[in-house]
Structure 1
C-alpha cells in the first residue's frame, strides 16, 4: 500500500486519546461499593473507546490517500498479437467495386451511372467506414488478443501500442476517420513500421500483421529485403484484406490478361511478394461489405492459439473504504451517545 500524503500519518498517535479519557457525565448515586462489578458496562465502555480509535485512524489514513499501485498479472488465453495496418489514402473514401449487373456492357449511361455511384459523395458508406466498423467489432470479440494500430498513407503513423483494452482499440480505429486522406500510398513503409512493433517483445504466441488496403505497391529491392528480414526475425504472419474498388484489378491475372502485368500492376506485384516470403500468408479479396465481413470472420476463426501475455491491473484507490469505516464507527458512537442516560427518571 502507498500513500499520496504520507505526512498525515504522523497524526495517528492522537488516536490513543479516547483510551486515556476519563468517563464524564457521571450521575449521582447511592454508595454501591458492596454491589457486584458491572462487567458488561466495563466491556461496553472499552468497546466504544476502541470504536473511537478506529474512527480516528480510518479518517487519518483516508486523508493520507491510500492506494494500491498498478501491477502486472500473467494471463493465458487464446488469441494473437495483431497489428492492424489500415490504409488511410483518399481512395478508401470511395465505394467497393460491387457486382455490376451481368448485362452491363460498354460505356452507356447505365455503366457511367453505376461507376459514378462508387464516388464518396453518392455513397452511404465508404470502404474505409465499413472496414473500421467491422474491425472494431472484430477487436471487441477477441478479448484475449493484443492489438496495435497503424494508419498509413504516404507515411505510417503508429496510433496505438499493443493493448488488450477494446475501448482503446476502438478509439484508435475511429481516429483514422479524421479528415480526408492523401492520394499517396506507401505500403512498404507501413509494413516495416508494423513489423517493427514486435521489436524487443518476448514471443508469447501467434503474431499477425493484418493489412487492410484497397491497393498494392511495387516495392523496391531494399524494401523487400528489409520486410523479408523482419518477417523472419519476428516470426510474423501476414494477412492482406484487399478492398477492391470499382474498375480495379484483382490479386491474380484474369483469363486472357498479359503475363507481363504480373510485374507492372501493383496489386499483382505485392501479392506475389507476400507469397514469396518465408511465413504464413493469406489474402482475402473483398468487393463488397459482405465479402469484407466474411474475410474478417475467416481471420477470427484461424488465429485462436494459446497466448501468454501480461495484463496491467489499474491502480486501486482505498480512500473510500477508509472513509466508510470511519463513518460507520461514528454512527455507532452517535447512537450510543443518544442512548446514554443523562439523568435519573
Structure 2
C-alpha cells in the first residue's frame, strides 16, 4: 500500500504547532534568590505535558486536514470459477417467442420472448458464481461493451436488466462481436480459466480474414468458447444433425463448423426451451469451476479520522493538565 496525502498543501500550517513552545513574558517571574524556591516537580511535569499536548493537538489536526491515507492497494485472493464474458445477442429476433407450429415445446419460451428467458437464466447463473469475474457485452449491428470485467455481480445484474429496454436491430454481426469480446481479455494477466459465453439464436458468415483473427485471438488469450444456440422453432437448423439444405450450409451450421476447428475448447449447447437452457447453464456452471486467482484493487483508505482522534485525546490531556493546575492553586490559596 502506498501512503499519500489528499491535500498536502495543508502541511504549510504544520509550523503553527510550535507556538505553544514559545514562552510568554508573563511566564517569567523575577525572584532575588531562585535557590530559595522549593522544587515544584509536579508543576514542571504538568507544564511539560501541557506544552506536549498543545503541540500534539495542533499537529494532529493539521495532519488530519491534509487527508492522509493509502491508495493503490491490490489484494490477491483465491476462489473458484472463471473469467466469463457474456456475449448476448440483442437482435430483433431475440425479442420473439419460440414458434412451435403445433409441436410440444416445454418451458417458458413458447409464451415469453427468448430474450427475457435468457436474461432471467443468465441472472441466476451470475448470482450463483460470486467468485467469478464477469464482463457483459451485447451485439446486433455493432458490439456494445456494457460492463468491463468486474467481480461486482450487482453491476452485471443491472446490465442484464437493462437489456429489457427497447428492441434490437435486425442484423447480427457475430464476427465483429467476437473480435470485440477477445479484445476485452487483452492486457489482462492470466489468472485462471477464460470463457466467452455466446447466447444467440442465429449465426453469421465470417470472411477468411475474420476467421483467422478470431482463431488467433482465442488461442493467444487462452479463451474457451461456449455457444448457447437458441433455436426459434422446428424450422431453425439443427446443428447436431449437420444436415445440408437445398441452399447449402446455413449460417448457423457454417459458424458451428468453424468453431469446431478452433485450437481452444469449444462447446455447443442447442436449446429450444427454457428447460434445456437451464440445463445448459447448469452444465457450464459445473464445468467452469477451476481455481481462480483474483487481484482486487481496494478503494483508498482514509486515515484522517485516526489523526483527529489523536488531536481530541491531546485536547483531553490539556483539560486534565488545567484541572491539576486549578487544584494545586486552590490548595496553595489560604
**Normalising by structure 2, what TM-score?**
0.80
Q: How many pairs does the alignment contain?
A: 322
- The alpha-carbon deviation at position 247 of structure 1 amounts to 4.5
More displaced, 300-309 or 38-47? 38-47
Matched, 1:283 2:268: yes
SS of equivalent to 1:86: strand
Which residue number in structure 2 is paired with residue 199 of structure 1?
186
Residues 143 and 180 in structure 2, CA contact (< 8 A), matched pair in contact too:
yes
Q: What residue in structure 1 maps to residue 296 of structure 2? A: 311
CA contact (8 A) 1:204 1:309 kept: yes
CA contact (8 A) 2:75 2:297 kept: yes
Shift of 1:88: 1.0
Q: Which moved more, 1:257-266 or 1:167-176?
A: 257-266
Please state if 1:158 is matched with 2:160: no
The answer to whether residue 121 in structure 2 is matched with residue 134 in structure 1 is: yes
Deviation of 1:218 (Å): 3.0
SS at match of 2:204: coil
Cα RMSD, aligned residues only = 3.6
Corresponding residue for 2:16? 14
Q: 1:286 to 1:7 in 2, by over 3 A?
A: same
Mapping of 1:75-224 within 5 angstroms? 75-96=77-98, 102=104, 118=111, 123=112, 126-224=113-211
Deviations 1:159-184 (A, max 9, x none): 23323332333344344344221111
**Contact 1:253-1:259 within 8 A present in 2 as well:** no
Q: Within 5 Å, which residues of 2 pair with 1:195-274?
A: 195-249=182-236, 251-252=238-239, 259-260=244-245, 263-274=248-259
Instruction: Give the 3-state SS of the residue equivalent to 1:276 in structure 2.
Output: coil
1:282-335 Cα distance to aligned partner (Å, 9 max, x none): 122333334323322221211122333432122222223322332343344346
**Alignment deviations for residues 182-212 of structure 1 (CA, whole Å, 9 cap, x no partner):** 1111112111211222233343322211101
Q: Secondary structure at the match of 1:204?
A: coil
**2:62 alignment counterpart:** 60
Q: Which moved more, 1:176-185 or 1:38-47?
A: 38-47
Contact 1:146 1:162 in 2 (8 A): yes
Runs of 5+ unmatched residues, structure 2: 28-34
Q: Secondary structure at the match of 1:95?
A: coil
Whole-Å separation in 2 of the counterparts to 1:23 and 1:245:
95
SS of aligned partner of 2:192: coil
Corresponding residue for residue 31 of structure 2: none
When normalised by structure 1's length, the TM-score is: 0.78
